[in-house]
Amino acid sequence: MARIEARVRDLASEPEMRDAIETVLERAEDGEVKWTDVREDVSSGAWGRLIERGILEDGEAGFRLADRDAIESGLESPDDDLGGSNVEIPDKEGASWSIYDKAAAAVTVLFFIGYTVSEVRNVIGSAMDVVLGPLQEALPFYAVIMVIATITGLYSTLLRGNLMDMERMGAYQERMQDIQERRKAAKERGDDDALDRIQEEQMEAMGDQLGMFKEQFRPMVWIMVITIPAFLWMYWKIGLRGGEAHGEFSQVVLPLAGTVSWTDGVFIMPAWIIWYFLCSMAFNQIIQKALDIQMSPSTS
């Protein structure tokens, strides 16, 4: 656990806390230690800080060491890395955008034009109507939106699960957390030199934020390539922005809003968008749990 090692390094810079950590390591049996085992050599304040910083965790009979190897490693050289995080960012080729990703981004921008240019909207809407038109004739419009929300939720989940490198994103987050924890510890002990070094490292690590953004936005580009045409079809079908409606649509009952027309404004947005988002959020949760796909990075 890189974070445990970093926390131990920070605490071990204080003689009292270093002695407390060494005592806890020495007295721990099978990875667990009780307050009664160390209270003669470790102050209650130091014991509380070990628990607060996650060095000690709840165990079966007392408290257990979070990670003995990481704690011992942090004790070996407590001052070496005060200005540098030991969290490594995996270097993978998939982290960079391919020419296909960039082409998808360009297509997405062109699709966005359809929201304001009626000619583009009519072309895309007519093309999508070849596929979605028969569905709209067979089902009520609210059911058509439910089907679209289910389909978009399925491929969105699959794309995010396959294109987002959760290990890499987790490393980005862990590195930033490591820097913040070391900064807090240095501030608590009044170490201005360490604060200056950590500040410089934090500025250099701003590139990590760009890396995280690129990782998150890459699948979004592919998702929008498929989702925007479906949205433009609904936009075109209902006849928004003065366009002609392509069909007859009954009203719908929405939570808190009651019976409304599809083009009515509900909470600032049109009713059809509200209904789509409600269906999308519900089906996304079901799909993610059914496929057991993790949508957020984890740190350890």
Q: What is the pLDDT of residue 95?
A: 53
pLDDT tens digits, 65-85: 888 888 887 787 544 444 455
- 264, exposed or middle or buried, with CB in 10 Å at 0-12, 13-18, 19+? middle
Count H helices and E strands in the chain, helices first.
12, 7
pTM of the model: 0.57
What tokens appear for 106 in the block?
Answer: 């360009």
Q: Where do the structural domains in the chain lie, given as residue ranges?
A: 1-80, 93-168+204-291
pLDDT tens digits, 76-132: 754 444 445 555 555 554 456 778 888 888 888 888 887 777 787 888 888 888 888
SS3 state of residue 233: helix
- 236 Cβ contact partners less than 8 Å away, ≥ 6 residues apart: 121, 122, 124, 125, 126, 128, 129, 243, 246
SS3 state of residue 108: helix
CA dihedral 205, 210, 215, 218 (to 10 degrees): -170
CATH class, domain 1-80, is mainly alpha
Q: 253 has which bridge partners?
A: 259
